[in-house]
Amino acid sequence: MILYGIKSFRSLRVHWTLHELNIPYVIEPIESRTGQTSTSDYTKIHLGQKIPYLQDGKLGISESAAICIYLAEKYGNGKLIPITDINKRARFFQICFYAMTELDAHTLYIIAKHGGSLVKYYKRSDAAVEVAVSEFNKQILVAERWLKNPNDYIMGEVFTVADILFCTCLMSAYRLAHQFPLEIPEKFIAYTENLENRKAFQLASIANQTVAL
């Protein structure tokens, strides 16, 4: 098991999942926007030239959420993902996809690319940032209804990959909130703190080293 990728929230998700499942793995310390992902050697491994990327035997898989779900499905033995209840699985996938689209790609990444720390790689756009901030503040209220109690997990009493994806989005939002008017509900602060106290998260943070979006 080889994981390519460090120093990003997206790679942190996979490190975290691997530690929750106690899966031994090798880390290839490839970073985004350093030139490491565009070398000929890495391009042969992953044509998309991005991290994280997981090599599990003959299977290579990209996209952080897909990797985490794959690991839970194959190695979880009932941990981190609903197995038999179709209704719970539907809710699980809804939350996972919501986090990856409405929060990660549709709002937080746009803010970082066009106004935040990644603007030097892309292009500043105050209009894009304004829309993305407004959409985040709208969509996070939808997610707030899923968390009944700040001491619970996003699906209730059981910790799942959905928490890993959702929590890392919140971590990104907290960082951006120092610069942009993101309105993060209070209950998510305690929720995030509780998840960051998990041993697997702390080990994953060390493995991932310093997080950068």
Question: pLDDT for 165-181, tens place per residue?
Answer: 999 999 999 999 999 99
* Confidence at residue 1, expressed as pLDDT on a 0 to 100 scale: 96
Share of the chain above pLDDT 70, in %: 98
* Confidence at residue 150, expressed as pLDDT on a 0 to 100 scale: 85
* Confidence at residue 151, expressed as pLDDT on a 0 to 100 scale: 86
Please state, in angstroms and rounded to a whole number, the distance separating the CA atoms of residues 194 and 166: 13
CB 14 within 8 A of CB 54: yes
Share of the chain above pLDDT 90, in %: 92
Please state, in angstroms and rounded to a whole number, the distance separating the CA atoms of residues 79 and 144: 24
CB 62 within 8 A of CB 52: yes
pLDDT at 38 over 90: yes
Mean pLDDT, range 95-103, rounded to an integer: 97
pLDDT at 213 over 60: no
* Confidence at residue 99, expressed as pLDDT on a 0 to 100 scale: 97
Mean pLDDT, range 22-27, rounded to an integer: 96
Mean pLDDT, range 4-30, rounded to an integer: 96
One-character DSSP codes across 127-168: HHHHHHHHHHHHHHHHHHTT-SSTTSBTTBSS-BHHHHHHHH
* Confidence at residue 84, expressed as pLDDT on a 0 to 100 scale: 87
Q: Which domains does the chain have, with CATH numbers?
A: 2-79+202-208 (3.40.30.10), 86-198 (1.20.1050.10)
pLDDT tens digit sequence for 48-65: 999 999 999 999 999 999
pLDDT tens digit sequence for 116-126: 989 999 999 99
Confidence of residue 211 (pLDDT cuts 50, 70, 90): low
Please state, in angstroms and rounded to a whole number, the distance separating the CA atoms of residues 48 and 67: 15
Which long-range contacts link 74-78 to residues 24+ away (Cβ below 8 Å)?
Answer: 75/21, 75/23, 76/21
* Confidence at residue 66, expressed as pLDDT on a 0 to 100 scale: 98
CB 82 within 8 A of CB 89: yes
pLDDT tens digit sequence for 141-200: 999 999 988 889 999 989 999 999 999 999 999 999 999 999 999 999 999 999 999 999
pLDDT at 210 over 70: no
